[in-house]
Structure 1
Amino acid sequence: MAVQIYHPFSNFNFSNTKCFLTGQPLSSTEEKIQVFPAWLMSLYNLQDQPFKLLDESIATYKDLKIPCSAVINETYLEPLETEIAEAFAKGYEGVKALDEHRLFLWVAKLMYGIIFNELQAGIKMQHTQGEEFNISQSIIHKFSHLHLMLQSINLPIQFEDFKPYSLFLFKVDNNEKEFGYRDEINTQTFALRIKDFGLVMCLQDNGANGSYHRELFDKIKDETLHPIQFEEFSGRVFYSNYLFNRLPEYEVMPLGEDIFIEAMPLRGFNSKPLFDEWMNKTYGQVLENFWKNWGFLLLEIIKNPNQPMSFLFNPDGSPITAASIELPR
């Protein structure tokens, strides 16, 4: 029997009666797993911390759950969580040694779990107001492809000579008690800064942001960063992924027992650059948000509109060392 891909966006079924990953009927609506894994929540006492959803409602980290078959969880998701937890426990070196695709699957599962909760909240709110749930086709396009790629955890899906993501990993001199987490679900950008590392991932760009920032990344990837330096780099990536103006397309080809996914060229027939024009004022607003811990304001950040404030490089382009930064971690 041919392998069946599950397409939840074809009929928009986000109830608690079906497994989020396979669409299999569940024995109970209580058959769920946590979006943020228990091991991570316990490390940083996140269980009762507030988590703000897009509709402005406040949940807690432990409130965020997704319906999942016990068999799927035990067979595929729990082993992944164990693998990631063990790697994270070793810090930067453990994460660096991880298989990148396994890390992608873990981030994708977490991101899709948040998306699932956002969709449920949005559908509920629209129905309460007597309206049909409405969401843009481009967002559905992105979300459905993320879900397709997430199914490579339980289906024999092969990626044909491409990675669907860009990944940036750094050693960071963090405050050991801090849980630094950030996401942007519309662009599918993710950042996590804990222990002695920080990682940023763009989940649906086919490596475009990796190429866009390659020169900068190569200059600092082997350095231990101050947290404000990591947040600056994160801000650059979150902003560039906002500027990324393509919707990646894929060819899905069943072949024997396997399913092959091939990425269509991002440029296609479009001569327009892959990224819209970088605007320093908008980037400064992003930085102001990412630098909240240190209280820098937009006017300070873009005092020189042509060269926003940086803790990564001096005005002459020379790198700034983490040890020379006199700010709290």
Structure 2
Amino acid sequence: MAEELFNPFLDLTFDERFCFLTGSLTNEEMTVYPDWLMDHFKLRDEQIEMMDKSKSYNYSDLKLPVSLEVKNAFEALDAKFKAAFDQGYEGMKALDEQTIFLWTGRIVYGMLYYEMIYERDRLLRIGKEFKLSIELRKRFSYFHLMLQSLVEPVYFKERKPWSIAVFQLKYSADILSFRNDSVNLLFQFGVNGFGFIACLQDNGVIGEEQKDILDQIEGKVLHPVQFEELYARFHFADYIMKQTPKYEIEPTDDGLFITSLPMESTPTNPVFGFWDEDTFAQLLSNYWQVYGIEKDDIIQFQKPRLSFLIDPYSLDFIEPESIKLPY
């Protein structure tokens, strides 16, 4: 059955005539970002940049070609997500992870789709062929296959291919914070009341690696600066992950079953590389620049790295109420 399902990364097929998910001919389309989200946070006429910063779009102009079946399925999924969103943290915490994965995946893949088109057209203009490395083709092909579970009999075995963390978060009303990393398949989403971080293809190992801090924030209402630091930890863990997630695809009469294979560290093949505090501080400063915090503030000579999550001396969780920065 895997051979029967559409895979745009085999021939790099990104065409407005074909449904992005199933490959069927279509005249239908849907927005990359859900309409209610753009309306609620007034995003429609805001600009979003491509990765190389040389091209930008209005949010409302980002659209994906879809079959009517896929469009209806995403609308039903989006209604389920919005119902949880409207209930705040409790609603999101109760939402099943596959719904968060698929809702997030629509946005992450939608932006990836535009990155593919932009790069293809850019190379075409200068007479070069559009290519992707074998590694990227595999990663994106698996991701696309997993998204097809929305409309195809594609199922996940017990170990899921993602890490998703949902937590309480304090923002001023109607503030939305999100980051999308389509190449590394990462997503961060925070509003008044809750936030979540999704690593969409790590086989759960980043969530396991960050379990201690996730356990400590359970029941706490995070300050936004803590939210940014937490996402930086997930992002950096993804950056230093040495092993490539692998899967077993099992076709049966009932559908396609995806088994996410566990990763095990060995002396010669660790799951994660060295956590370099200097490099992490550089990444973290990008997320903290809104607070005026630079890398030199995070790493200082003969001092532990600045953290708003863990006290570097007691190793205790820092209570959000003790943080004086604005939110």
Normalising by the smaller structure, the TM-score range is over 0.9
1:227 aligns with 2:220: no
1:80 aligns with 2:77: yes
Give the structure 2 partner of residue 119 of structure 1: 116
Q: Secondary structure at the match of 1:149?
A: helix
- Partners in 2 of 1:68 and 1:167 — Cα distance? 26
User: What letter matches 1:65 in structure 2?
Assistant: K
Residue of structure 2 aligned with 1:63, choices 61, 64, 78 = 61
* Structure 1 residue 270: Cα displacement: 8.5
* Structure 1 residue 308: Cα displacement: 1.3
Unaligned runs of 5+ in 1: none
Give the structure 1 partner of residue 137 of structure 2: 140
Give the structure 2 partner of residue 36 of structure 1: 33
Indicate if the aligned counterparts of 1:34 and 1:64 stay in contact, CA closer than 8 A.
yes
Residue of structure 2 aligned with 1:164, choices 161, 165, 182 = 161
Normalised by the size of structure 1, how large is the TM-score?
Answer: 0.94
- Partners in 2 of 1:273 and 1:187 — Cα distance? 19
Give the structure 2 partner of residue 324 of structure 1: 322
For residues 101-129 of structure 1, give each alpha carbon's deviation from its aligned partner in whole angstroms, at most 9, with x where no partner exists.
11111111211111111101110111011
- Partners in 1 of 2:230 and 2:302 — Cα distance? 18
For residues 124-168 of structure 1, give each alpha carbon's deviation from its aligned partner in whole angstroms, at most 9, with x where no partner exists.
111011110122221221111110000111111121221110011
Q: Secondary structure at the match of 1:291?
A: helix
Q: Secondary structure at the match of 1:51?
A: strand
For residues 174-194 of structure 1, give each alpha carbon's deviation from its aligned partner in whole angstroms, at most 9, with x where no partner exists.
122321011222221110011
Residues matched between the structures, number: 325
Residue of structure 2 aligned with 1:180, choices 173, 177, 182 = 177
Give the structure 2 partner of residue 105 of structure 1: 102
Indicate if the aligned counterparts of 1:168 and 1:201 stay in contact, CA closer than 8 A.
yes
Structure 1 residues 309 and 269, CA, compared in 2 at 3 Å: closer, same or farther?
Answer: closer
Q: Secondary structure at the match of 2:257?
A: strand
User: What letter matches 2:11 in structure 1?
Assistant: N
- Partners in 1 of 2:224 and 2:265 — Cα distance? 38
Structure 1 residues 305 and 267, CA, compared in 2 at 3 Å: closer, same or farther?
Answer: farther
Structure 1 residues 148 and 269, CA, compared in 2 at 3 Å: closer, same or farther?
Answer: farther
Structure 1 residues 232 and 53, CA, compared in 2 at 3 Å: closer, same or farther?
Answer: same
Matched residues, percent identical? 34
For residues 21-70 of structure 1, give each alpha carbon's deviation from its aligned partner in whole angstroms, at most 9, with x where no partner exists.
100011x3xx2110000000111101111101023211121121111112
Indicate if the aligned counterparts of 1:55 and 1:122 stay in contact, CA closer than 8 A.
no
Q: Secondary structure at the match of 1:236?
A: helix
- Partners in 1 of 2:195 and 2:2 — Cα distance? 40
Structure 1 residues 312 and 2, CA, compared in 2 at 3 Å: closer, same or farther?
Answer: closer
* Structure 1 residue 304: Cα displacement: 4.5
Indicate if the aligned counterparts of 1:49 and 1:60 stay in contact, CA closer than 8 A.
yes
* Structure 1 residue 2: Cα displacement: 9.6
- Partners in 2 of 1:304 and 1:204 — Cα distance? 37
1:46 aligns with 2:43: yes
Stretch deviating more after TM superposition (299-308 or 168-177): 299-308
Q: Secondary structure at the match of 1:274?
A: coil
Structure 1 residues 284 and 149, CA, compared in 2 at 3 Å: closer, same or farther?
Answer: same
- Partners in 2 of 1:129 and 1:165 — Cα distance? 38
Give the structure 2 partner of residue 247 of structure 1: 244
Q: Secondary structure at the match of 1:192?
A: strand
User: What letter matches 1:283 in structure 2?
Assistant: F
Structure 1 residues 270 and 14, CA, compared in 2 at 3 Å: closer, same or farther?
Answer: farther
Structure 1 residues 214 and 306, CA, compared in 2 at 3 Å: closer, same or farther?
Answer: farther
- Partners in 2 of 1:148 and 1:301 — Cα distance? 40
User: What letter matches 2:21 in structure 1?
Assistant: L
* Structure 1 residue 269: Cα displacement: 8.6
Map 1:11-26; keep pairs closer than 5 Å: 11-26=11-26
Normalised by the size of structure 2, how large is the TM-score?
Answer: 0.95
Q: Secondary structure at the match of 1:307?
A: coil
